[in-house]
Amino acid sequence: MPLPEIFTERMKSWLGTEYPDFETALGQPPPVSIRYNPAKPSDRFPDSAKVPWHPSGRYLPERPSFTLDPAFHGGAYYVQEPSSMFLFEALRQTVDLTKKLRVLDLCASPGGKSTLLLSAIHDKGFVLANEAIRSRVGALNQNMAKWGHPNQAVANHDPADFAGLEGFFDVVLIDAPCSGEGLFRKDPNAVNEWSVKNLELCSARQQRILQTAKNLVKPGGVLVYSTCTFNPDENEKNMEWLIAEGGFEHCLLQLEESWGIVEMEKGYQFYPHKTRGEGFYIACLRKKEDVQASRFYQNLPAFKQWRRLGSKEVAVLEPWIKDVGQFVFFEKPDQMITAVPESQLEDFETIGQVLSRRAFGLNIGVFKKKDFVPSHELALSLAVHPQLPFMAMDKDMAISYLRKENFLTDAKGRGWHLAKLNGINLGWMKLLDNRINNYLPGDWRIRMK
């Protein structure tokens, strides 16, 4: 792999005699790994090896066709780079995950770390996944929906727009936009786009994000910063700058020597010749308890355009929703019904007073006259009622369903059914006499032949 000359010289100066091993590693195929969804148990990849720093992470011996795997579409696992899964271990050592936590993923798309966070907090508290670039929000929405947790929100805002939420979050993650040096062997475009000028732009952008993010962490809370690069101007120097700004202290983590992670002065670096993963940097900073946070509450109704459902309407939803009493239901102006966990309602109202482009909770469907039409998100959600009718499919039938094909069936019964493969929900279909109407949304369908 031809590497930029300046990059090569810098890496040689940092790695010394290790550089030849580093260069050799960049010429090897990157590892393939997935992270299981603990809430959707699956028998996929039974012989895979464990990623040592995440209990649900697995290395695969080769890359399968994830696009043609129904379990992937049902949210049974997420295809995630192994080094980035270390986020779980960093949180395990710095945050009490048994508490109700307010968690912000400030640069979230496509959603790998946000879904990891949802599993880590075990339905206590919530995860707000934000993506500033509008074109990337669709992928984030889909991946959050597949993971199935209703205690989440997605926003589309520049980090500066969060200024009204100072001191609100227990955990703020910044997986910062970076020069991408750690992805050189996975993405040849990252090599072509590398330049010293781009490094400088990335570092400046990262400091701008951190300038806002540091104020969002509550006293005693944790800021987690990560990149997929090796450059200290984007990594350690940013952490040194933030600590020098005052109010934060570096969190030391306990590492297994066999993991091969390099402990830096302010953070931890993953190199592909030392760890079975891509280049990655992560640091955890704790906000000092004596730092004063601005008050964030405002006396503004966040859901003023949403109509709260009455008891008769909620009763219609009882056959569809597990533990219906744990949710508050709203009808939005577009008539979509949203289920908001009651335990998060006050927090979401606070966020809604500051952020305008956001979606809370779970979109479950719409009322059409006297009928309820369920959403695809409800089918994939952990909140869907377990006693609803379903059709058990084999893989070929599931692939046909995911291609949005209508097909004949000898199944008994009429009405709404879940399409299900090995216990994993894939979506809705409506059984009529000897045929099926496939309700998979068009933008979710498999297009691969």
State pLDDT tens for residues 12-27: 999 999 999 999 999 9
Helix (H, G, I), strand (E, B), or coil: what is residue 350? helix
Q: Which positions ≥6 away from 70 have C-beta within 8 Å?
A: 393, 395, 398, 399, 402, 421, 424, 426
Contact 119, 87 (CB under 8 A): no
- Rounded to whole angstroms, how far apart are CA atoms 138 and 278? 26
Is residue 299 predicted with pLDDT exceeding 70?
Answer: no
Checking DSSP bridges between strand 262-264 and strand 267-270, what pairing results, if any? antiparallel
Distances in Å between the Cα of 408 and the Cα atoms of 392, 430, 431, 439, 443 are 14, 12, 10, 15, 23
Q: Which helix (H) or strand (E) holds 308?
A: strand 307-308
Class of domain 82-287: alpha beta
Q: Which positions ≥6 away from 74 have C-beta within 8 Å?
A: 40, 146, 380, 421, 424, 425, 426
Contact 58, 48 (CB under 8 A): yes
- Rounded to whole angstroms, how far apart are CA atoms 51 and 277? 10
Residue 263 pairs in a beta bridge with 268
Scanning 81-178, the segments in alpha helix (DSSP H) are 86-94, 112-120, 137-147
CA atoms within 13 A on the CB side of 219: 8
pLDDT reported for residue 292: 65
Cis peptide before 110 (omega within 30 of 0): yes
Is residue 378 predicted with pLDDT exceeding 90?
Answer: yes
Architecture of domain 307-444: Roll (3.10)
Q: State the pLDDT confidence band at 291, using cuts at 50, 70 and 90.
A: low
Q: Which helix (H) or strand (E) holds 432?
A: strand 424-432
Distances in Å between the Cα of 230 and the Cα atoms of 52, 276, 278, 298 are 22, 16, 11, 42
Is residue 259 predicted with pLDDT exceeding 50?
Answer: yes
- Rounded to whole angstroms, how far apart are CA atoms 81 and 54? 12
pLDDT tens-digit readout, 150-205: 999 999 999 999 999 999 999 999 999 999 999 999 888 889 999 999 999 999 99
Measured in degrees and rounded to the nearest 5, phi and psi for residue 406 equal -90, 145
> Which residues in 139-210 belong to E strands, given as ranges?
152-155, 169-175
Distances in Å between the Cα of 427 and the Cα atoms of 70, 73, 349, 412 are 11, 10, 30, 18
Taking residues 384-395, what's their average pLDDT? 95
Contact 108, 129 (CB under 8 A): yes
pLDDT reported for residue 300: 45
pLDDT tens-digit readout, 39-59: 999 999 998 999 999 999 999
257, two tokens? 């020597």
- Rounded to whole angstroms, how far apart are CA atoms 53 and 55? 7
Checking DSSP bridges between strand 77-79 and strand 32-36, what pairing results, if any? antiparallel
284, two tokens? 């955890």
Measured in degrees and rounded to the nearest 5, phi and psi for residue 386 equal -70, -15
Taking residues 348-354, what's their average pLDDT? 93
Sequence spans of domains, the chain: 82-287, 307-444
pLDDT tens-digit readout, 105-143: 999 999 999 999 999 998 889 999 999 999 999 999 999
pLDDT tens-digit readout, 58-85: 999 999 999 999 999 999 999 999 999 9
Q: Which helix (H) or strand (E) holds 242?
A: helix 236-245
Q: What is the mean pLDDT of the chain?
A: 93
- Is residue 228 flagged as an active site residue? yes
Is residue 406 predicted with pLDDT exceeding 80?
Answer: no
- Rounded to whole angstroms, how far apart are CA atoms 316 and 305? 22
pTM higher than the cut 0.75: yes
Task: Please name which of 53, 140, 118 lies closest in space to residue 90, comparing C-alpha atoms.
Answer: 53
Task: Identify the active-site residue in 107, 178, 202, 228.
Answer: 228
Q: In one letter, which amino acid is 142?
A: Q
Residue 67 exposed, middle or buried by CB count within 10 Å (0-12, 13-18, 19+):
exposed
pLDDT reported for residue 293: 57
Task: Please name which of 306, 42, 305, 303 lies closest in space to residue 148, comparing C-alpha atoms.
Answer: 42
Contact 341, 124 (CB under 8 A): no
Task: Please name which of 353, 311, 305, 349 lies closest in space to residue 331, comparing C-alpha atoms.
Answer: 305
- Rounded to whole angstroms, how far apart are CA atoms 162 and 242? 18
